[in-house]
Structure 1
């Protein structure tokens, strides 16, 4: 899609937007980026959707609002869309815990639907790769839905059908703590990978045609997801362990195995260093996860305290240069057909130099400078994700 706002900004430098070598014209990276189909596989922005006095259609500033993504900035960064996340905090593995989580996940799913419908002039829901390309051609932003943490399903796998019918096309079994389906990368090794129910979860995901997301899964769980799935899997927001040795990150050997089976790793901005989760930051994160229940004044105070803490205790000891070094290494290891992007916007992502979604053209510029073709860069921004989505069975949902 050609983004009108971005192209108008580029018009003033149109004469400089291409250089002529013989008969070939080479567009500047910002213009190239604007013309690509660009997706992000993990958008935690729905936690902002119920905030009092806040709207997705308004432009928000990082200095006065913690949100990293809104419709105006999607256009600034030429982000055409992505997977909006139904995230549910891990709770007790009890019938009561499951029931509470299911009610929350249903409400969050409905909230995503209502917000997208409210702004239907700018953005629309997508279920398939074909939908994404059609909406892009129509000049609409694209809204897929994903589940982060299948904990709300409890022990009832038939609920996957319900969420499929609600539009979910990607889901991960686990989050930051081990649950009934799998060991978490940062949790206890209870199952040595997937539980028996987790293996049934894989089969049901394949039957329905929902992409399996292995981010947050332990190494053993990743190995079993890769082995058991009939179709390619994805990591929606993960970093390389060679960039920083953390259990949340994927090692290069497993990236090669993922690529060999047709999957894709979407590169995140998180855990490129240890997360500086001081008591002060932990308190603010606890509030942030419930920002939807705050008054506008409370939201503003949270933002003020967060930004003041950033000045003395940055959350991550990494920046854009570190990020691009990791991206380039991931491409070298996995290949251009198996890399994508999921920065974890509004879920802890963002680094100095890539603070919000408007910075995405810088990534394309750096990939161009590294010698990657426009076609290969667009594969990484969207083609690989849509290929994995389209590969999920001949008769999904049946």
Structure 2
């Protein structure tokens, strides 16, 4: 989830079972693919009173876009559940608070998996993902959005590796001790000296580097310094909308040349309509985990009422697919994946929650892409990048 301070600062910013499935040969194509999303902000909902990831939630009455029943509706097999931490002060106190938050969020992801062990399992490797898929289980990787909680102590990366984190980005919406953000004024002109050490430690441990939210200079340096391919977990094309949060086509080609992949998001395909009323609601949404069920329901009601008079993004499913097809044209089928930013500001008319994913596959098939191409883009490229990482060497 993105903080209200950031949103105002940027220019735009289980206990669930499925019915009997038909034989694989008869199932719709999307249901036969192994599908992953590289950036799921849903863990912010895991601490909500009265909210359960195993229950079905409706967009009309709940702000979440992802739960186990809707994962099955949309045939999303799993993805990277984000440990997101708001950027705070670069002080000992700020680092300590951020670390406590990140540990708590990691524990909440673990509890979700344990509570729904019959239908979802924790994954650490590409082989884990394939095994869980063969077992008929959903797949839960962990990622870290913003390495700010590490403070100045890079040894903490090992702790989060042991907690299961396999994808991490150095920075979020504001510059920090590691790097410049895409949506802040340059401080380091890319990576800081500590950020360069962060890259080396990420490579040593075998954690995939996530360049989403990084400035252009930071991206360039991550790509140059990393010994292994990198990902962008949730980014859009700058040619679709000229915003610093988006990746330009030249850098997408450079990413592909180094074996990486860009996972296409639904955000920043237009200016973000952050009206004062929407800003107020976002501020409350940041603390939805602390609200009573009644307060959560009232927040949702106000949000949906505002949606009737103003949309947050001036884009829809058709615009999204135009961007996806252009990204594939530029980067190639071996270097595109999906990370829509569910529960973190993503979603558009026509692709409002996870259940809409089969429409993407249908449109790609209509555009002439083969089943093998689709398998690569929905999971193969992600698992290839994950498998290419180095191994921890103590």
TM-score, L = length of structure 1: 0.93
User: Residue 356 in 1 paired to residue 353 in 2?
Assistant: yes
Q: 1:189 to 1:349 in 2, by over 3 A?
A: same
Give the secondary-structure state (helix, strand or coil) at the position aligned to 2:194: helix
CA–CA separation in structure 2 for the residues paired with 1:203 and 1:6: 47
Deviation digits for residues 82-131 of structure 1, max 9, x if unmatched?
Answer: 00000000100101000000000000001100111110001010000000
Give the secondary-structure state (helix, strand or coil) at the position aligned to 2:79: strand
1:214 maps to what in 2? Answer: 211
Deviation digits for residues 235-263 of structure 1, max 9, x if unmatched?
Answer: 00000000000000000000000000000
User: Residue 381 in 1 paired to residue 392 in 2?
Assistant: no
1:4: Cα distance to partner?
8.5
Q: How does 1:163-182 map to 2 (within 5 A)?
A: 163-182=160-179
2:342 maps to what in 1? Answer: 345
CA–CA separation in structure 2 for the residues paired with 1:162 and 1:114: 18
CA–CA separation in structure 2 for the residues paired with 1:244 and 1:205: 31
1:24 maps to what in 2? Answer: none
1:72 maps to what in 2? Answer: 69
2:234 maps to what in 1? Answer: 237
1:278: Cα distance to partner?
1.1
Give the secondary-structure state (helix, strand or coil) at the position aligned to 1:245: coil
Unmatched segments (≥5 aa) in structure 2: 1-15
1:397: Cα distance to partner?
5.7
CA–CA separation in structure 2 for the residues paired with 1:114 and 1:58: 15
Q: How does 1:32-47 map to 2 (within 5 A)?
A: 32-47=29-44
Deviation digits for residues 165-186 of structure 1, max 9, x if unmatched?
Answer: 0000000000000101000000
1:396: Cα distance to partner?
3.0
1:275 maps to what in 2? Answer: 272
Give 4+ residue runs of structure 1 displaced > 2 Å after superposition: 3-8, 395-398
CA–CA separation in structure 2 for the residues paired with 1:146 and 1:290: 21
CA–CA separation in structure 1 for the residues paired with 2:176 and 2:361: 38
CA–CA separation in structure 2 for the residues paired with 1:153 and 1:341: 27
Deviation digits for residues 220-240 of structure 1, max 9, x if unmatched?
Answer: 000000000000000000000
Q: Over aligned residue pairs, what C-alpha RMSD do you find?
A: 1.5
Q: How does 1:1-398 map to 2 (within 5 A)?
A: 5=18, 8=21, 31-393=28-390, 395-396=391-392, 398=394
CA contact (8 A) 1:50 1:292 kept: yes
CA–CA separation in structure 2 for the residues paired with 1:287 and 1:44: 16
1:335: Cα distance to partner?
0.1
1:5: Cα distance to partner?
4.0
CA–CA separation in structure 2 for the residues paired with 1:179 and 1:100: 15
CA–CA separation in structure 2 for the residues paired with 1:387 and 1:60: 33
CA–CA separation in structure 1 for the residues paired with 2:393 and 2:205: 4
TM-score, L = length of structure 2: 0.94
Q: 1:276 to 1:167 in 2, by over 3 A?
A: same
CA–CA separation in structure 1 for the residues paired with 2:225 and 2:115: 40
Deviation digits for residues 281-330 of structure 1, max 9, x if unmatched?
Answer: 11111111111100000000000000011111100000000000000000
CA–CA separation in structure 1 for the residues paired with 2:33 and 2:306: 37
